[in-house]
Structure 1
Amino acid sequence: MLVRNASKYGASGLRYARSISTAQSWKFEARNNTILNKFKDIEEIEAPSKLAQESSLPVIEQDLKTKPRQPSKKLPFLSDNKIENDPNYQMSGWKQKIGQVLIKAFSIDMDKSRAGPVAASIYFGECKRQGLYYPNEPMSDTAKFFYETLKLPKSFSQQYQIALLHYWMLSVRMRALPHKYGKNYQQKLIDRLFSDMELRMSQELKINSNRIIEGYLKDYHTQLIGAVLSYDEGLMTDDITFAAALWRNVFNGNPNADMRHIEALLGYVRSQLYVLNKMTDREFGFGKFAFVAPDQVVQPLTKAQEAALKEKVKAEFAGHNLPSQRSVLSVDE
């Protein structure tokens, strides 16, 4: 696919995505009449944010009954760990050499080991940042889409629902990986999401009772199960079912929710799934995916573009010769 108006992807403003393994992916692109497939013959596809802004209906704020508790402090985005927080951090040369020797000597399964830093750090950060909000601080473009364009309430629970939606999209792709690896990636990601919520409730929201925090976590876990089941049903059926799932979960079942806003979010989700559907197992397993911003347009790839990108991916990973870069994940699917 092509992602347009994406300055962060280079001067051309275009980014390509790749192809996915279909062995366990439910063949969701083939079995579902997705928004992208519907629009294949239309030259201009609107970005989700633009689609949502076309609505002229009056905004009726949802009554949350209670005023959401706002954070009193801000924790580091990922953690205090310098390796995780500093993208430019490099281990000393001798430590790297020892690590490579140990990996080779003990035949460590790097695809299994890689799930920690990729799923519990890179993809956790991707899920968290999409709906992250702090009072009196500028919001990211994606957060503005959810809170300003879609008019969702600025609350901790809403941040969780947004993160949960993005977790589910990643989990769809993780389920397409070989089972023992995909399951590991899912578990690492969800464990990190919940441990982060527990920490934020304690330190940012100043909830001092462990019993109350545990109660919230149980509620969030119940919401997770319900949301995943409803999103899966929408993925395997039709857009009406999918839109209803988004309305119940992300829009909190708000009877005054704008239908154009729900349609825009559905387009946003379908676009992300298409990008994920065009990535190889190895690209995804190495943490190469990033969510497409809602002000960008995803367009289907031609067969020639897909073939060219597959060759580019193979060339990139052909140079990964260190023991720590070993992988059995496919560069074809």
Structure 2
Amino acid sequence: MSMMYLRVSTKKVLRPSVVVGLRSVYGCSIRLNSSHSIKGIKNNNNNNEDIDDFGTPSKLASSSNFPYVEDPTRVNKDIKLKAKIKEEKEESVGFVLPKWKETVGESLISVFGIDMDNIRAGSVGGSKYYYMCKDQGLQFAKEDLSETAKFYYETLQLPKTFSQWFQITSLHIWLLFVRMRAMPFKYGKNYQQKLVDRFFKDMELKLSEEMNVQSGRIIDSYLKDFNDQLKGVVLSYDEGLVTDDATLAAAVWRNLFNGEKEVDLVHVEAVVRYIRMQLYVLDNMSDREFGFGDFEFVKPNEVVTPLTPEQEQVIRQKAKERYERSDGKQLPSMKSKLSLDY
């Protein structure tokens, strides 16, 4: 599936609009602060007196007293599909390449001058990052929800439907798009395309095996509609990104909450807070760290605090130590043209 390509640089957009913090590699506390309309804390770093009572997005959303009515159109998940997803994950995580194959591979990369940044777009963007996005709202019949899924289906009281899963996944894909578009154009576009391709390949599988849609023509029609929806999601969230939280909240309401008139605005606010946290973390990663797959979504029950200049220096130094050997020698597979600058 092709996607409209709109380049938005996090480096120019995020810093004026939000002052939040980053999950650090050495375990600093994590809290949120927004300089726009949503409720947040003041940037005092060492003074916690001004922190609001809500803190995390999930805690904020759970403060609502609105009643929850279970959606009767809940889609039952196919247990066989769940087993297949689990098997795919176990294979990708537990697989170890034989040493001789690794040696041959390194030699081929060196001899043919293969651009590993393009190769990583598939394994990182089309595999790891996609699984991260789809898992946020993934749920199966008669199975316990993950802590992240509970935020959407229990705390935010969203219906457990295929369409809702699509919206939750699309939101997280857009978050990654924002950072990918700040990469060099050639690589950022490739990462985006791999992510989108995997998304629609997975939806085709869900429609045929999970939703039991057997007609190829009908599946193609559904995928075309979802492609149009994804474009709309990206454009509406982009508008909120480059304007203010009120516009972003409106985009969240239209997409994630399906424009419901009785929506709890506290829930919308919690999602905006959640989005700003993710964007700040992404903004504080170098292209190489992000391109190598070092990003993970901040959980809804976590918040971020601003890093001090000293903490930023420590994180940057650790990144350079990880990716740049002191002797200047790197395995061909570890070489990258992506920058380590922030």
8 Å CA contact 1:40, 1:300 repeated in 2: no
8 Å CA contact 1:31, 1:236 repeated in 2: no
Match of 1:327 in 2: 336
Distance 2:67 2:190 in 1: 45
23 and 255 in structure 1: CA distance in 2 versus 1, 3 angstrom threshold: closer
Q: Secondary structure at the residue paired with 2:219?
A: helix
Match of 1:85 in 2: 91
| Residue 201 (structure 2) pairs with residue 216 (structure 1) | no
Match of 2:14 in 1: 29
Distance 2:133 2:140 in 1: 16
8 Å CA contact 2:124, 2:291 repeated in 1: yes
Residue identity matched to 1:40? K
Choose the corresponding residue for 1:256, options 262, 284, 287: 262
Q: CA RMSD in A?
A: 2.1
Gaps of 5+ in 2: 1-6, 20-31, 36-40
8 Å CA contact 2:34, 2:276 repeated in 1: no
| Residue 165 (structure 2) pairs with residue 159 (structure 1) | yes
Distance 1:67 1:217 in 2: 21
Shift of 1:85: 3.0
Distance 1:99 1:31 in 2: 44
8 Å CA contact 2:136, 2:149 repeated in 1: yes
8 Å CA contact 2:11, 2:283 repeated in 1: no
Choose the corresponding residue for 2:205, options 179, 184, 199: 199
Shift of 1:70: 2.1
Q: Secondary structure at the residue paired with 2:33?
A: helix
Distance 1:107 1:41 in 2: 47
Shift of 1:144: 0.2
1:1-333 equivalent positions in 2, closer than 5 A: 24-25=9-10, 27-33=12-18, 36-38=33-35, 39-41=41-43, 43=48, 44=51, 46-59=55-68, 67-75=73-81, 76=83, 78=85, 85-319=91-325, 321-333=330-342
| TM-score, length of structure 2 as denominator length | 0.85
1:210-263 deviation per Cα after TM superposition (whole angstroms, max 9, x unaligned)? 122112111111111111110000000011100000000000111111000000
Residue identity matched to 2:33? L
Residue identity matched to 2:330? N
8 Å CA contact 2:75, 2:160 repeated in 1: no
Shift of 1:307: 1.0
Distance 2:265 2:88 in 1: 43
Shift of 1:68: 4.2
8 Å CA contact 1:78, 1:121 repeated in 2: no
Distance 2:234 2:84 in 1: 25
274 and 74 in structure 1: CA distance in 2 versus 1, 3 angstrom threshold: farther
Shift of 1:26: 5.6
Taking every aligned residue pair, what percent have the same amino acid on both sides? Answer: 50
Deviates more, 1:194-203 or 1:53-62: 53-62
Shift of 1:177: 0.5
Deviates more, 1:22-31 or 1:300-309: 22-31
Q: Secondary structure at the residue paired with 1:298?
A: coil
Distance 2:79 2:281 in 1: 35
Shift of 1:304: 1.0
How many residue pairs get aligned? The number is 308
Distance 1:156 1:255 in 2: 21
Gaps of 5+ in 1: 1-21
Residue identity matched to 1:322? L
